[in-house]
Amino acid sequence: MSVRVLVQQAAFDTGAETARLSSLSDHIGGMGLFIGQVRGGDGLLSLTLEHYPGMTETILNQLAQEGMQRFSLLGCTVIHRVGRLKVGEPIVLVGTAAAHRGAALSATSFLIDRLKTGAPFWKKEEFANGHAAWVDAREEDEHAAATWGQMPPSSS
Amino acid sequence: MTGHVNILYFAALREQLGRESQQVPLSANGQSVADLLRVLRQHDAMLDEVFAATPRIRVAVNQKLGGFDTCVQPGDELAFFPPMTGG
């Protein structure tokens, strides 16, 4: 299967994931990779990621399929972690494989931009002083997602 | 009685309401999400307060993002949540 979508608590193995992608086809000429991690600062200790089980996997699969078609990908992987993640820990991996770099890089941007505002995940920040707060959606993230056009109507 | 729907709450909504789900009876046929929510808020001061204080609440019906004008059927799973912040 050329699309791989996982929602998990455990860390992912970036080396193993890129090796898997690169071995999918002899026609692959380039791969795109994005890894999001917990950014520190202002006394942040950790993020806790909540999700909507079931719907999250469905949306990520739809997004991955859309990316496959739109950019003629030969493979794509989306792995998103949930639970409590400390500063510096990886949160999300988006990997794409295509014949040429343009498609791979664009598809990687497309997938992460759309995922941030379109898949049911929510982040809660926890600070060293004991304060905790849910992260507000950022307008720039919504603009980034919108630059790729509207989500197509669901087929079912 | 025309059946029930199951409602899920996520993230800040879940926390402020102190519940992650509830079963709600449908009082009429052809109710939209907005109709149902109006009735719920009339009978639940806490829900009314939390929803009034939370901007841009999203709804999913049967795990599909939808509008508040979506028609609700018995057995449906509704979910309310704040804007998503993944990645």
Give the pLDDT band (50/70/90) at residue A139: confident
Q: How would residue A150 be classed by pLDDT, with cut points 50, 70 and 90?
A: low
CA distance B28 to chain A (A): 26
The answer to the question of residue A48 being in a domain is yes
Residue A156 maps to a domain: no
Residue A1 — very low, low, confident or very high, per pLDDT cuts 50/70/90? Answer: low
Answer whether residue B87 is part of any domain.
no
Residues 6+ apart with CB under 8 A from A150: none
Would A92 be classed as within a structural domain? yes
For Cα atoms A20, A95, A126, give the angle at the middle one, nearest 5 degrees.
120
β-strand partners of A5:
A78
**Predicted confidence band of residue A153 (pLDDT cuts 50, 70, 90):** very low
The verdict on residue B50 lying in a domain is: yes
Structural domain that includes position B23 = 4-80
Domain of residue A138, residue span: 3-146
User: How many structural domains compose chain B?
Assistant: 1
Is residue A105, in this structure, part of any structural domain at all?
A: yes
d(CA A27, CA A24): 9
Task: Return the residue in A50, A93, A135, A156 with the most chain B beta carbons within 10 A, the one to mutate for interface testing.
Answer: A50
Q: What is the pLDDT of residues A40-55, one digit of tens each?
A: 999 999 999 999 999 9
Q: Please name the residues in contact with A26: beta carbons below 8 A apart, sequence gap of 6 or more.
A: none
Q: What is the pLDDT of residue B29?
A: 78
The nearest CA of chain A is from the CA of B44 a distance in Å of 24
CATH number for position A22: 3.90.1170.40
Nearest Cα neighbor of A155 from A39, A27, A61 is A61
Residue with tokens 């926890």: A126
B87 vs A116: CB contact, 8 Å cut-off? yes
User: Is residue A56 one of the residues assigned to a domain?
Assistant: yes
What CATH number is given to the structural domain containing B13?
Answer: 3.10.20.30
Chain A residues touching residue B56 (CB < 8 angstroms)? 137
ipTM of the complex: 0.93
HSE, CB side, 13 Å, CA atoms: give it for residue A85.
26
DSSP H or E run through B66:
strand B64-66
Which residues of A are less than 8 Å from B85 in CB distance?
Answer: 116-117, 121-123, 134-138, 141
Q: Does B62 map to a domain?
A: yes
